[in-house]
Amino acid sequence: MSGPVLDFPDQVPYDAYVHASTLHSLQQPLTKDPGEMSFLVVSQVMELWFGLACHELRDTQRLLREDDVWGALAPLRRIKLHLEGLVAAWNGLRWMTPPDFNRFRAQLGEASGFQSAMYRQLEFLLGLKSEALIRPFKRQADLYQDLTAALRAPSVWDDVTALLARRGFEIPAEVLRRDHTREYEPSPQVERAWVEIYRDDRADNPLYLLGEALTDVAEVFGDWRYKHLTAVQRTMGNKPGSGGSSGAAWLTRSMARVVFAELWSARTVI
């Protein structure tokens, strides 16, 4: 039996495909504190998870617009697993106490996770819209253009609601034609549609399975937001956050913004 190929005329194929050497060149600590490396790596890993979740959500939207509910279940189920990986990434920072963070926090200056463009893309796709949150990117034309487009575009929940209307559920025109740049206002008619869907919980009902897959995504995303809050409280308490945010107080308020609201409120009625 022959062994693995060990000699290559040029770049090692694994590195050419994965770009591992590029990834490992991106951590550039600003202090000599060894803990800063953990902070950088975990932050960068989270950025990759954000991007992957956005990729899967856009694929979900494509399939929903094609009325392929069965097909849309696959990327939604993958997103749940990706978000579980994102939640687990916080474990890499559980060692960090306030003195640990303070040893390099000053080097962050005004930098903050609040300024993550990819995280904003993820929130917008999930329906958590806020025009004010793209202002930090005005001087970065490409990012600002992409975020403006994402703000104005339908969210996954908008596409789900449009699908329900096409399937015969009574969804008001003002819900279907709403201004996508504004925060979503839950609709009693959308809630009633989900109550009706959940009355048929057979394994061959694709809309019921869609509701459960979306609920899983919303739940695990909520887990990530909660872990973010506890990580901030663990390292900073209630001090103001970097980048000008109010830190834990701001994160607590943001958690009140519900993803896929009618899927949750329908459960009170069912």
What are 246's two structure tokens? 């109010």
69: left (phi over 0), alpha (psi -120 to 50) or beta: alpha
Single-letter residue type at 159? D
Query: 127-186 pLDDT, tens per residue?
Result: 999 888 899 899 999 999 999 999 999 999 999 999 999 999 999 999 999 999 888 899
* pLDDT one-digit tens code per residue, 26-39: 999 999 999 999 99
- Reference 233, options 252, 219, 220; nearest CA is 252
Phi-psi region of 56 (alpha: psi -120 to 50; beta: other; left: phi over 0): alpha
Give 118's pLDDT tier (boundaries 50, 70, 90): very high
Q: Which pLDDT belongs to residue 110? A: 64
CA–CA separation, 143 and 147 (whole Å): 6
Give the contacts of 191 (CB within 8 A, at least 6 positions apart): 262, 265, 266, 269
> What's the mean pLDDT when you consider all of the chain?
91
* pLDDT value of position 243: 56
Q: Nearest Cα to 258, choosing from 130, 152, 128, 125? A: 128
pLDDT category, 241, cuts 50, 70, 90?
A: low
What's the whole-number mean pLDDT along residues 93-119? 85
| Region 214-232 average pLDDT | 95
pLDDT, position 242: 61
pLDDT at 112 > cutoff 80: no
pTM above 0.85, yes or no: yes
**CA 36, 38, 42, 44 torsion-angle sign:** positive
From residue 102, how far is each of 108, 111, 235, 246 by CA, in Å? 10, 14, 9, 17
Buried/exposed code over 57-91 (b: 16+ C-beta within 10 A; e: otherwise) = bebbbebbeeeebeebbebbebbbebbeebbebbe
d(CA 112, CA 251): 13
pLDDT digits (tens, 9 = 90+) for 38-86: 999 999 999 999 999 999 999 999 999 999 999 999 999 999 999 999 9
pLDDT number for residue 104: 87
pLDDT of 245 above 70: no
